[in-house]
Structure 1
Amino acid sequence: MRVFNLLAGVAATVALAVQPIAAQEVDRAPGIGSAENIGPGGRPIGKDWSRSPVIAEHGMAATAHPLATNVALDILKAGGSAVDAAIAANAALGLMEPTGNGIGGDLFAIVYDPATDRLYGINGSGRSPRGQTLDQLREKLGPVATSIPPLGPLPVTVPGTVDAWFSLHERFGKLPMADNLAPTIRYAREGHPIAPVIAYYLDRSERSFSQREEMIGDFSNARATWFADGAPEAGEIFRNPDLARTLETIAEGGRDAFYRGELARTMADYLERMGSALRYEDFAAHESQWVEPTCVTYRKGYELCELPPNSQGFAALQMANILKNVDLSQWDRGSPEVLHYIAEAKRLAFADLARFYADPDFEAFPVELLSEAYGKRRFAEIDPARANPDVAHGAPELEGEGDTTYLTVADKDGMMVSLIQSNYRGMGSGLTPDNLGFMFQDRGELYSLDPDHPNAYEAGKRPFQTIIPAFMKRDGKPWMSFGLMGGGMQPQGHVQILINLVDFGMNLQEAGDAARLNHDGGRQPTEPLDGPASDPLGTLYVEPGISAETVNRLQAMGHRVEVIDDGIMFGGYQAISRDPETGAYTGATEMRKDGQASGY
């Protein structure tokens, strides 16, 4: 088997010199020793750094936690639709993966409905306080502030997830919502074992929050909910009875229980006590918005589909429109040429993102940014031999590590759901309302304080959003529901999956296991319009599967390159594709998370 030069975070297979070992040297406890100096085993087919995707006929789920995947499959087997199963899995992940999501955050989804043969999009993001102006916010921040802090009451916006659940369910659900929430209610009350990667993230979160408790203002509720005895460890049974009661209230009372009932009053009273301008009326006024997914053709009949702003999904479409102008398959996938073009296309697309992406209710999106002609013009700005030290936004005729979960579900009728949900970074704001068992998001950190910026803070406005679900069509037909979570990694991650599948012929699992790049830096949607970028060149982070030779050549081309080996900043991928001839599903999951793809 040819050793592929783009390994997924593992070293190439090495020849081990066999030395005589004394009997007493091997008589030791299991787990003592090093597993470093060994590579992957062999495989009869496919790359030796990947495993087989999962194939099943009647239903499929891929999530960041095996128990959430099983919850989704149980709902499908009970007669639920893919939307029912996605809601059930998302609720489970809010309990089991609180470092990535929860009902204190926002949600976006794309649904393929076979009954109408259409893609539907939902924007479940919340708004800023309607009773607070930019000047009033600035007064709270102080005269020298240039951004909104990541913790405490000021970045909290109305949580949109619960309303999005009910909006999706009204249109596409088959089972009662109480049935969809029942598995998580049971797990929250009776407990579930903590998964290994989630345990790692919980430990990181506790240490980070503990160092910044003064910024949060009140960490006591969050500490009691998740960290009463320190961060839960892998295998420890974790319970959240407060969340169980909250979900029971929602199951019985519907969306109004969360946005107009006692839950809303508890949230509003707590936030007012903490210094937030959010009030009960902000919760009562919230509603999700159905939006139209937009698709662009990449090549070979493949189309990438994303949701419009205030999310960053169109940045992936811009990257695809730029990269379609060069045949990447002429080089090896791990070559400096391929990585250079991806990084430069990202920097060009994100320069536009930083200038134009915002809540379309306040600032119209210039649709010319998605034209093939504009993509060609932007491609012409790429120097094939050198990194551009500071790209500017175009003239059409977000960044940072985010904590997010992505899941996808498909059912026996052909419905496919691409769903992403998040509290933004670091579990959220650090604020947990009294006795409710979840944390508020800190999505409002992403507003700009420049009053002339399209993404400037305004009363009742949705902030720029990093979370984006994706979908792909092949020859005009629905083919693949997928996503890749993780802040500004998401658009460039979507495009890397697209390239791996279309240009380099990888299967669904290989496309996610292959080493990734993450360009961080450049212009940001929170920076002033007329000021310089804080880090114009940015840094090109790559995983260890990128060869030292490629890294050296990229550096010679002017890129600032760093190799990162823990996988954290490279996102979390899940995918399901459907065979148009047989209807069978293929599922894949993320090696960098605890997840599982499974079907029946």
Structure 2
Amino acid sequence: MRRRTFLSTLPAGAFLAGASVGHTQTPAPAPAAPQAPAPRARPADPYAGIGIGDRNSGVNFVGRSTVWGANGAAATAHPTATLIGIETLKRGGSAIDAAIAINAALGFLEPVANGIGGDAFCMLWDPAQRKVVGFNGSGNSPQGLSLATARSKAVDGYLPAVGAVTVNVPGTVDAWWSAHQRYGKLPWKDVLLPVAELCEQGVPMPQLIAWYLERGMAGFDRRAALIEENDNRKRVYAPGGRTPKVGEVFANPDLGRTYRLIAEGGRDAFYDGPLADQMQAYFRRIGGWMTRADLAAHRTEWVEPIRTTYRGVEVYGLGPNTQGLSTNQILNICEQFDLKGMGFQSAASIHHQAEAKRLAFEDRAKWFADARFSETPVEWLNSKDYAIQRARLIRPDRVMDRVFPGDAPTQGDTTYFSVADKDGMMVSWIQSNYRGMGSGLVPDGVDGQTLGFMFQDRGELFSLTDGHPNVYAPGKRPFHTIIPGFACKDGEPWMAMGVMGGGMQPQGQAQIIINMVDYGLDPQEAGDSPRWQHYGSSEPTGQPAEGVGRLHLESGVPEATKRALEQMGWVLGPPDGGFGGYQNVVRQINERGPWTYGAATEMRKDGIAIAY
């Protein structure tokens, strides 16, 4: 995967020199050599150096307290989505009913991160079975798209970030249906129709989503030549020629109509009915590959999560084709070191965590792929013995010059939310269109309308290298970055949590657990804590590592820590907005009275957490 960069292009300009006019004619000066325009100075930040206010309780860097309730909780990236989840619970819905309503709402409210054109993954605590269960809701590549054709669309040896070649079958709607069939309490229609009405009425646009939407659409405009059709996305997300501004009401009635069809016809309306027909017709019109047969063949896969422990806490993840194993590996390696003794936000602690990430991501690049096509030695990579071997490679005072994947026995934008109900079900759900808003392609509807959603560009994450486990093939699922998180204590559910953002996700999940287990932070404190993110590891697309890479630190990391990390050989990068977005719902066993839920979100998103 190419590194994500956000660049602003300076406009070209010309400077005209004025000639002075006198009574005598003078020779014109020789033309000056052309000069590049001076770079535009960044405006001074009037708030530079200003910290946050003081709190009477808790750690000072936290923006708000964890919220607590006894009957249910929800934490999402948009206030309205959280409210919809809580209202679904109050109407008698299960946590899965609430999760479906939240995800449908976020597809409208937060189109920069997710939607029914993408895939979904989930882990949940099933109170009846008293265990963590999970599903893989990722879709296959089109059967009619060959490796040779995919290679013909490559840019610099990799699949592009946009266009029909990146589109896989969207798995989200079937994930909703499959989860509802097992765990839903409210009628299917009653879960979705309130969201359809919301799409039609519209909601004011919040700050961060407005920022991402404007930049996302500008990015598509710059790459319009790679996108087979550009008008539909503009009609949906930039009506009147521009994206909505902060506080303006944004509506998506086309998506509302699509939701109504799904509410009435179930998953078949999307995969083997009128919506499937319209999607197939759209790809035929623009020269794409996905067909109704591809859609009809899709099914969500219920899977057994992989498990490890971190200082007695049971940590669960989903196996390949996701990167859930990477979280486990980072924690298994970090467990070999006394992070608590090193100190919170110390150079030593961040150094060992980031080195553990580098080791884990080399295995991710070598092994992770669709398990139906390539076998990953999950048991070995997840083992404590392997973690001990890998931990021995970390030098306490210096960055490793090179990092390689280990040997085993033969054999990048996302939305995340947590929700829990009064019966003890806790849901950790993640859903994405992948890079930014997706492929840039919004399918046609009927009568000149659209279907109101964008197809994912998850296919960008295939490799095009012969012999690589993640090499493109028809009917195959690509490597996936999105991973829900879940942890238990003593066999009881503890937290449903996640951190959004491509390769940040396992790094972020590990930091949350380390913050809570090693440093004693509560759910809100753990999320508001400054984060690090390392870029430059090898990628499952076949892209090699970039030396020691670059370690980006948020501004709250102490200056002394930054200086010490540089002395260790780390190449530091500034805050770049890529530190994810976190939600968490925890279950607390109390000495007096029943268990309760605590819910947390963070300042990096527009959302709220509510418990009642």
Structure 1 segment 371-390 matched on structure 2, within 5 A: 371-390=383-402
In structure 2, C-alpha distance between the alignment counterparts of 1:359 and 1:328, rounded to whole Å: 34
In structure 1, C-alpha distance between the alignment counterparts of 2:498 and 2:578, rounded to whole Å: 15
Deviations along 1:265-317, one digit per CA (max 9) or x if unpaired, are 11112123223221111001111100011111110x21211111100000000
Structure 1 segment 7-156 matched on structure 2, within 5 A: 34-50=46-62, 51-141=64-154, 145-156=156-167
CA contact (8 A) 2:74 2:610 kept: yes
In structure 2, C-alpha distance between the alignment counterparts of 1:39 and 1:553, rounded to whole Å: 23
Deviations along 1:155-183, one digit per CA (max 9) or x if unpaired, are 10000000000000000000012111122
Corresponding letter in the other structure for 1:382:
I
Deviation at 1:449, TM superposition (A): 0.2
CA contact (8 A) 2:121 2:431 kept: yes
Deviation at 1:599, TM superposition (A): 1.5
147-156 vs 382-391, which moves further:
382-391
CA contact (8 A) 1:390 1:522 kept: no
CA contact (8 A) 1:61 1:407 kept: yes
Residue 583 of structure 2, aligned match among 559, 574, 580? 574
Pair 1:363-2:378 in alignment: no
CA contact (8 A) 2:66 2:600 kept: yes
Q: Secondary structure at the match of 1:483?
A: strand
Deviations along 1:353-409, one digit per CA (max 9) or x if unpaired, are 000000000011202101100000000111111111220100013xxxx31000010
In structure 1, C-alpha distance between the alignment counterparts of 2:604 and 2:145, rounded to whole Å: 40
Corresponding letter in the other structure for 2:571:
R
Deviations along 1:57-88, one digit per CA (max 9) or x if unpaired, are 10000000010000000000000000000100
Q: Which residue of 2 aligns with 1:180?
A: 191
Residue 418 of structure 1, aligned match among 428, 433, 436? 428
CA contact (8 A) 1:88 1:184 kept: yes
Deviation at 1:206, TM superposition (A): 1.6
In structure 2, C-alpha distance between the alignment counterparts of 1:155 and 1:476, rounded to whole Å: 41
CA contact (8 A) 1:432 1:439 kept: yes
Deviations along 1:16-69, one digit per CA (max 9) or x if unpaired, are xxxxxxxxxxxxxxxxx9444532222121111212100001000000001000
Q: Secondary structure at the match of 2:165?
A: coil
Deviation at 1:451, TM superposition (A): 1.8
CA contact (8 A) 1:523 1:536 kept: no
Q: Which residue of 2 aligns with 1:338?
A: 349
CA contact (8 A) 1:186 1:244 kept: yes
In structure 2, C-alpha distance between the alignment counterparts of 1:37 and 1:498, rounded to whole Å: 30
Q: Which residue of 2 aligns with 1:395?
A: 407
Deviation at 1:212, TM superposition (A): 1.0
Deviation at 1:135, TM superposition (A): 2.1
Q: Which residue of 2 aligns with 1:489?
A: 504
| Distance change >3 Å, CA 391–CA 37, structure 1 → 2 | closer
Structure 1 segment 83-482 matched on structure 2, within 5 A: 83-141=96-154, 145-229=156-240, 230-299=242-311, 301-366=312-377, 367-397=379-409, 402-434=412-444, 435-482=450-497
* Runs of 5+ consecutive residues of structure 2 not aligned to the other structure: 1-44, 445-449
CA contact (8 A) 1:163 1:255 kept: yes
In structure 2, C-alpha distance between the alignment counterparts of 1:396 and 1:118, rounded to whole Å: 29
Q: Which residue of 1 aligns with 2:523?
A: 508
Deviations along 1:410-463, one digit per CA (max 9) or x if unpaired, are 000000000000000110000000110000000000000012000000110000
Q: Which residue of 2 aligns with 1:526?
A: 541
Q: Which residue of 2 aligns with 1:546?
A: 557
In structure 2, C-alpha distance between the alignment counterparts of 1:247 and 1:253, rounded to whole Å: 10
Count of aligned residue pairs for this structure pair? 555
Pair 1:595-2:604 in alignment: no
State the superposition RMSD in angstroms: 1.3
CA contact (8 A) 1:492 1:518 kept: yes
In structure 2, C-alpha distance between the alignment counterparts of 1:459 and 1:132, rounded to whole Å: 6
Q: Which residue of 1 aligns with 2:597?
A: 585
Q: Which residue of 1 aligns with 2:10?
A: none
260-269 vs 165-174, which moves further:
260-269
CA contact (8 A) 1:153 1:429 kept: yes
Deviation at 1:136, TM superposition (A): 3.0
CA contact (8 A) 2:329 2:381 kept: yes
132-141 vs 503-512, which moves further:
132-141
Larger Rg: 2
Deviation at 1:127, TM superposition (A): 0.5
Deviation at 1:145, TM superposition (A): 4.5
Q: Secondary structure at the match of 2:401?
A: coil
Deviation at 1:477, TM superposition (A): 1.4
Deviation at 1:580, TM superposition (A): 2.5
In structure 1, C-alpha distance between the alignment counterparts of 2:596 and 2:436, rounded to whole Å: 37
The percentage of counterpart residues that share the same residue type is 50
CA contact (8 A) 2:153 2:160 kept: no
In structure 1, C-alpha distance between the alignment counterparts of 2:60 and 2:393, rounded to whole Å: 38
Q: Which residue of 2 aligns with 1:517?
A: 532
In structure 1, C-alpha distance between the alignment counterparts of 2:389 and 2:287, rounded to whole Å: 47
Q: Secondary structure at the match of 1:515?
A: coil
